[in-house]
Structure 1
Amino acid sequence: MARAAGLSASTASRLLDTLRQQGYADWDEASGLYRVGLRAFQVGSAFTAARSLVGAAEAEMRALVAELNESANLAVLRPLGGGRLEAAYVHQVQGPQLVRMFTQPGSGAPLHASGVGKVLLASRPDDEVRAALGTGSLSAYTPHTLTDPAAVLDELEKVRRDGYALDEQERELGVRCVAVPVYGAGGEVWAALSVSAPTARLSPEQLPAFLNATLAAAGRIGARLGWTA
């Protein structure tokens, strides 16, 4: 392994030991050989699941964008370590309008200050939610950001009750977002689908039409993933 990686044996040994401690590699004491660990398998499985998700969502997201003329985003939960989580964008279909940089695929969004983040966090158990939020004040991105964990918990209860989440200029001033859950085959929330637009183009009066279209698209994605209501 050291020769293949172009490393010294001592460096390769240290790296392998670190991988072993993190669960990415296993060492068989009897044979003295390393093999791929369970954590690496889990990461690979997550990557495969993400690819399946994007494949199922692509056509429906394009149809949604054609209907609303605004960009659609798909996000999943991404662990950051220490119980912390964020919403990670895995796919986007751009509308004809300006695309905000923070929604580019691969970028992350705070759970408390994004529509997709609220949807994803609302799907998790209470102990996981509290660990992710912590007890201190949360980062404020605009004057509208919810920074009190207790206020966020109240907001998540509303998300669970209503079946969707809003970002009311909480991540960026002048931008409103509506987000809904995407369900996998077992009825679990696999992802969050959102549409965002300037408040002038996504007004409170226009919200029902945007919400209904996004819910319908999420339902069709879920059907492609094998979920039935």
Structure 2
Amino acid sequence: MTTAKQKPGRSRSGETSSVRTLERGLSVLLALKELRHASLSQLARQVGLSASTTYRLLETLRQQGFVEWEEQSGVYSVGLRAYQVGLAFTERNNLIRSAQPAMDALVQELNETVNLAVLYGNEAVYIHQVEGRQLVRMFAQLGDGSPLHASGVGKVLLAWRPEADVRQKLGEGPYPAFTTHSITTCAGLLDELARVRSQGYSVDDEERELGVRCVAVPVRDQTRQVVASISVSAPTSRFSDDQIVKVAERMTLAATRLSTRLGWD
């Protein structure tokens, strides 16, 4: 009877263990992105790992520059290497480069902060921002996700997708209610998406945060698909119903110019 020789290299169980470690390390880094600054115990609770395992993962990330540790406070934060990786994405992303002139022009015209978001899984993720000059400004943290059913950008990114896709991403509900204005049912959301398609833009009317309105418009590429959304948020005092229509018209012109740069005609 001949015994098969084991091939040199890592065993399958070793490979599985390495992949699991990588997944855990990435989950820690993503949790730190959400928390911004956190202690070891906070991060361990966030990712559902023991403190000792979380510490080992953090120490590896720290040694590679993806995590920084403040010795005096014992608090961890995202490191420079993670920023460099994100910067590489920004530099290669044609959408962001193409959007810059249109977003700059909107800020000059509206004097409000302008955001650019894309669909990622079941969230709208902010990938670029140009700040306005108002004393009171509405900010979205870059890299943060926004709920699709309760945000202007989310509704735009869903509106031109098949109904089956919407149901697959969000389910039948009920959806989380952030305010009394939030849409919480699938039927209500589908009606709202039909309205967005009809008027060509979406409005977040205090659906995520009381006192804040948002207008969002679609950006298309050469395939004629909606690939991103540009949005402007402001306090309700600066966004009356009449102002929303005027702002939407200006934003649609800017988004059309951007879409043309991306190959849409």
Per the shorter chain, which TM-score range? 0.7 to 0.9
Residue aligning to 2:93: 51
| One-letter amino acid of the structure 2 residue matched with residue 160 of structure 1 | R
Summarize deviations over 1:173-226 as a string: whole Å, max 9, x none: 111111110010121111011111111111112122211110011011111111
Normalising by structure 2, report the TM-score: 0.66
Residue aligning to 2:252: 215
Confirm whether residue 68 of structure 1 aligns to residue 110 of structure 2.
Answer: yes
Q: Residue 56 and residue 16 in structure 1: after superposition, are their counterparts in 2 closer, same or farther (change >3 A)?
A: same
Residue aligning to 1:138: 175
Q: Residue 12 and residue 53 in structure 1: after superposition, are their counterparts in 2 closer, same or farther (change >3 A)?
A: farther
Normalising by structure 1, report the TM-score: 0.76
2:141 counterpart (86, 104, 108):
104
Residue aligning to 2:15: 13
Give 4+ residue runs of structure 1 displaced > 2 Å after superposition: 8-12, 15-18, 47-50, 97-101
Contact 2:113 2:138 (8 Å CA) reproduced? no
In 2, distance between residues paired with 1:160 and 1:49? 32
Residue aligning to 1:201: 238
**Structure 1 position 88, deviation (Å):** 0.6
For the aligned residues, what is the CA RMSD? 2.3
Contact 1:167 1:178 (8 Å CA) reproduced? yes
Gaps of 5+ in 1: 1-7, 19-46, 80-84
| One-letter amino acid of the structure 2 residue matched with residue 142 of structure 1 | T
**Structure 1 position 12, deviation (Å):** 5.0
Summarize deviations over 1:18-49 as a string: whole Å, max 9, x none: 7xxxxxxxxxxxxxxxxxxxxxxxxxxxx689
Structure scoring higher RCO (CA < 8 A, sep ≥ 6) equals 1
Of residues 203-212 and 169-178 in structure 1, the stretch that sits farther from structure 2 once superposed is 203-212
1:153 counterpart (181, 190, 196):
190
Residue aligning to 1:174: 211
In 2, distance between residues paired with 1:60 and 1:16? 44
Of residues 66-75 and 205-214 in structure 1, the stretch that sits farther from structure 2 once superposed is 205-214
**Structure 1 position 135, deviation (Å):** 1.8
Larger radius of gyration: 2
SS across alignment from 2:241? coil
Number of aligned positions between the proteins:
188
Normalized per residue, the structure richer in helix is: 2
In 1, distance between residues paired with 2:14 and 2:94? 34
Contact 1:50 1:90 (8 Å CA) reproduced? no
Contact 1:115 1:194 (8 Å CA) reproduced? yes
Residue aligning to 1:226: 263
Q: Identity percentage over the alignment?
A: 50
